[in-house]
């Protein structure tokens, strides 16, 4: 081969190698940036969910839902207690 062919091959090879190295660096950089963005997004979502749950628990405390629900459930149970007739009661006793 002549010197001109070697020069052309070296130029083409170095250009190709530079393209691969530049592409690899760009890929790694973008991957790292995407990972950092996703990590920040996960933390943001976790903080938002925590704040929502905290606000909901505060709302429950303010409205005293637990006390009211317990009271309403007792009242419902008392109003809807099944009535057993005397005939059935005596039949259950065996007499």
pLDDT digits (tens, 9 = 90+) for 16-40: 999 999 999 999 999 999 999 999 9
Rounded (5°) CA angle 66-70-72: 115
* CA–centroid distance for 33 within its chain: 22
Task: Reply yes or no on whether the pLDDT at 7 is more than 60.
Answer: yes
User: How many domains, in total, are found in the chain?
Assistant: 1
In the chain, alpha helices (H): 3-63, 65-79, 86-93
pLDDT of residue 5: 85
- Reported pTM: 0.48
Task: Reply yes or no on whether the pLDDT at 90 is more than 60.
Answer: no
Q: Are 66 and 60 in contact (CB under 8 A)?
A: yes
Name the token pair of 43: 């933390």
């Amino acid at each position: 081969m002549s010197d001109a062919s070697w020069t052309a091959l070296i130029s083409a090879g170095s250009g190709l190698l530079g393209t691969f190295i530049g592409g690899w660096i760009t890929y790694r950089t973008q991957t790292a940036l995407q990972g950092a963005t996703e990590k920040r997004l996960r933390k943001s979502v976790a903080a938002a969910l925590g704040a929502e749950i905290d606000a909901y628990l505060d709302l429950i405390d303010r409205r005293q839902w637990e006390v009211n629900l317990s009271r309403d459930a007792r009242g419902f149970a008392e109003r809807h207690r099944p009535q057993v007739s005397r005939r059935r009661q005596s039949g259950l006793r065996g007499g």
